[in-house]
């Protein structure tokens, strides 16, 4: 006799199931994309939210973190738009701007979508109506990945970007996501395709007020041969927010990908990256810096898969933790058979500013080729007492001395941003955290 074992659903899992059943056909794309949405939600329906029993989520128990499922946000009001205007970051950065308030595109805060030469930008609802659910199935994701599945199930707005072959627009595109008002859930998606020899800079920001929001974003990148893309992300949402973010990237031959993420907000945040080398002589530099105090939780999880010749990847992530904050780094480099001459290096570093802070690191290598150079490392430590004494002996107060050392610690990552106004804005946000230690 076989027992039919059904997992006990949490209140959030039950609410997600009810919500999906009620909105599935009403979301952009309607019935034409319902199959793609159902495929995304199926793992959640079958197994529920991932808990620490799931290896990839053992340090970030989403089942425990998502105690309630916030309702989907409605169209932003005039008051919401006014509040969002005051929160928009990177005003000093020269870039075309597309603004989403509570997950919905707001034209009056945005620049024209046709303002970048050689770049076609469409709203996600238009792309779903025209092309069905293909845009909801990005490449390179593990089967049944839950955060991306939730995004596919509930996403209502976003952008589909196509950069023409050889195009090199002189301005970046800034996709600004702002959360305001009472608690809600917002889902967004950006799909960018670069033609051969194109070069493009994409800025992604997530900011918000103090409301208890839930956000889930997905960015997919597809780079044709010799394309170059720079991606800079700021996550500075309210300290009651649960933030889930997924990045997938497919790299053709001789491509270059540079990605930097700064996380300084939210109660709990998970940034996961899945990068696949599919053409020879490609390179990727994936970096990030995180700041957390109180009982906040920051998770960076990445899988870099080498499946081509002569490719190089560099991953370097740093976190500074105060109070009872916790950081998680799970990084894996996979070298497939035949991916000879791979050069991969991965490093995670955490700086503990209190005795109660915690940093977990789990770097991994899976190598199935014999002519490669790969390595990984992880460090966890406190501020250097001798350097602190040196600074204080010269009249610098304790707090300022600590801030100087922390800024020097993360500066190695942030200083890599070539755009000076953008780099200064990121450093300014880091400096504000060092003062507030939120």
Most confident of 247-251, 392-396, 412-416: 247-251
Give me the half-sphere count of Cα atoms (radius 13 Å) on the Cβ side of residue 77.
Answer: 5
Q: What is the pLDDT of residue 19?
A: 96
**What integer pLDDT is reported at residue 131 of this predicted model?**
79
Residues 178-212: tens digit of each pLDDT = 999 988 999 999 999 999 999 999 999 999 999 89
Sign for the CA dihedral angle at 277, 279, 283, 289 comes to negative
Residue with tokens 């659910």: 133
Q: Report the distance separating Cα 70 and Cα 15, nearest Å.
A: 9
What's the rounded Cα separation, in Å, for the pair 141 and 149?
10
Residue 183, token pair as written in the block: 């608690």
* Cα 232 to Cα 234: distance, rounded to the nearest angstrom: 7
Report pLDDT digits (tens) over 270-326: 999 999 999 999 999 999 999 999 999 999 999 999 999 999 999 999 999 999 999
DSSP letters spanning 309-367: SS-EEEEEEEEEE-TT-EEEEEEEEEE-TT-TT-EEEEEEEEEESSTT-EEEEEEEEEE
- pLDDT of 25 over the 80 cut: yes
Q: Can you tell me which residue has the tokens 């990945």?
A: 145
Contact 285, 258 (CB under 8 A): yes
Q: What is the predicted pLDDT for the residue at 1? A: 45
CB atoms < 10 A from the CB of 393, how many? 9
DSSP string, 251-304: E-TT-EEEEEEEE---SEEEEEEEEEE-STT-EEEEEEEEEE-TT-EEEEEEEE
The pLDDT, as a whole number, for residue 186 is 97
pLDDT in tens, 305-320: 999 999 999 999 999 9
What six digits make up the tokens of 387?
């350097």
Contact 180, 212 (CB under 8 A): no
Work out the average pLDDT over 224-242: 97
* Residue 430 to residues 1, 84, 274, 323, Cα–Cα distance (Å): 60, 21, 26, 17
């Amino acid at each position: 006799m076989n027992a039919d074992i059904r997992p006990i659903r949490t209140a959030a899992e039950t609410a997600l199931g009810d919500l999906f059943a009620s909105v599935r056909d009403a979301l952009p794309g309607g019935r034409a994309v319902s199959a793609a949405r159902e495929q995304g939600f199926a793992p959640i329906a079958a197994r529920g939210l991932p808990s620490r029993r799931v290896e990839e989520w053992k340090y970030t128990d989403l089942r425990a973190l998502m105690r309630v499922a916030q309702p989907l946000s409605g169209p932003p009001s005039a008051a919401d738009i006014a509040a969002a205007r005051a929160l928009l970051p990177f005003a000093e950065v020269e870039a075309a701007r597309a603004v989403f308030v509570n997950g919905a595109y707001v034209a009056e805060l945005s620049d024209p979508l046709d303002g970048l030469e050689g770049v076609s930008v469409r709203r996600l609802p238009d792309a779903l109506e025209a092309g069905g659910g293909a845009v909801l199935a990005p490449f390179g994701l593990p089967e049944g990945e839950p955060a991306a599945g939730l995004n596919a199930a509930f996403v209502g707005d976003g952008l589909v970007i196509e950069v023409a072959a050889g195009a090199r627009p002189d301005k970046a595109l800034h996709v600004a996501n702002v959360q305001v008002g009472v608690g809600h859930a917002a889902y967004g998606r950006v799909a960018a395709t670069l033609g051969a020899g194109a070069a493009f800079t994409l800025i992604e920001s997530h900011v918000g007020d103090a409301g208890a929001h839930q956000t889930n974003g997905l960015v997919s990148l597809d780079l044709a041969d010799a394309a170059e893309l720079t991606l800079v992300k700021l996550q500075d949402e309210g300290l009651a927010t649960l933030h889930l973010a997924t990045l997938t990237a497919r790299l053709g031959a001789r491509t270059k990908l540079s990605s930097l993420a700064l996380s300084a907000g939210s109660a709990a945040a998970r940034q996961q990256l899945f990068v696949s080398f599919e053409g020879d002589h490609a390179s990727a530099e994936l970096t990030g810096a995180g700041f957390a105090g109180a009982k906040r939780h920051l998770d960076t999880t990445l899988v870099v898969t080498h499946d081509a010749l002569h490719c190089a990847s560099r991953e370097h992530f740093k976190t500074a933790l105060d109070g009872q904050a916790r950081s998680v780094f799970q990084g894996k480099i996979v070298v497939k058979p035949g991916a000879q001459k791979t050069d991969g290096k991965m490093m995670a570093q955490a700086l503990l500013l209190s005795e109660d802070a915690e940093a977990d690191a789990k770097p991994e290598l899976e190598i199935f080729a014999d002519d490669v150079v790969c390595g990984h490392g992880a460090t966890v430590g406190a501020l250097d007492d001798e350097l602190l004494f040196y600074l204080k002996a010269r009249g610098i107060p304790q707090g300022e001395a600590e801030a100087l050392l922390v800024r020097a610690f993360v500066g190695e990552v942030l200083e890599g941003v070539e755009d000076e106004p953008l780099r200064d804005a990121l450093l300014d946000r880091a400096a504000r955290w060092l003062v507030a230690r939120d």
